[in-house]
Structure formats: structure tokens, C-alpha cells
Amino acid sequence: MKQTDLTPEMFRERAKPLLGGSGWRKRLARAIGVDYATVKRWTSDNGKVPGYMIALLEALEMLDGEGYELPERFAIGAKKSKVKTT
């Protein structure tokens, strides 16, 4: 495993408490604009967590570790954002 790889189990262990426990996968999917099924796939035993998600998780952990609030889109109770199309 490369240094930048993160197993689905490690991803779950780090992301779940950071993103508020119950419902964290749905909040994450909404916050980053991917389908819930995509996040479920990353967290399945055979899943592969993409590099951009690992980088985002590390950035969120750094913010949290420094005592900053996470961006509102990751908060419990965050509403689904509406995307305008032109």
C-alpha cells in the first residue's frame, strides 16, 4: 500500500467521528457533490478511496485539530445545496 492509500476501514474510522456519526456518508456525498452510492462504494470492504477524498479528509482533520469549525456543508443538518444552471 502506498503512503497515500487509505483502506475503506481506515477511511470509515477517520471520517465517521469527524463528520458526526450517524448519517455521515449522506452528508459527505451532498457536501462534495457525489452520489451517496459513490461514498458507500468507497467505504465498502472492496472499495478504493480516491486521492482527492483522502486530501479533503486530511484538510478537514487539520481544521478540526486546530479548533476551527468545519465548513457548514459538512455539518449535521446541512441542507442540500441547490445548483443553478444557466
Domains of the chain: total: 1
Examine residue 77 and state whether it is found in any structural domain, yes or no.
no
Burial of 55 per CB tally in 10 Å (0-12, 13-18, 19+)? exposed
Examine residue 70 and state whether it is found in any structural domain, yes or no.
no
Confidence of residue 58 (pLDDT cuts 50, 70, 90): very high
Q: Where are the alpha helices (DSSP H) in the chain?
A: 8-18, 24-32, 36-43, 51-65
Distance in angstroms between the alpha carbons of the first and the last residue of the chain: 43
Examine residue 17 and state whether it is found in any structural domain, yes or no.
yes
Q: Which three cell numbers stand for residue 44?
A: 465498502
Range of the domain at 14: 8-65
Examine residue 31 and state whether it is found in any structural domain, yes or no.
yes
Examine residue 47 and state whether it is found in any structural domain, yes or no.
yes
Examine residue 81 and state whether it is found in any structural domain, yes or no.
no
Tell me the mean pLDDT in the region 61-72. Answer: 91
Examine residue 35 and state whether it is found in any structural domain, yes or no.
yes
* pLDDT tens-digit map of 27-55: 999 999 999 999 999 999 888 999 999 99
Nearest to 5 by CA among 53, 45, 40, 38: 53
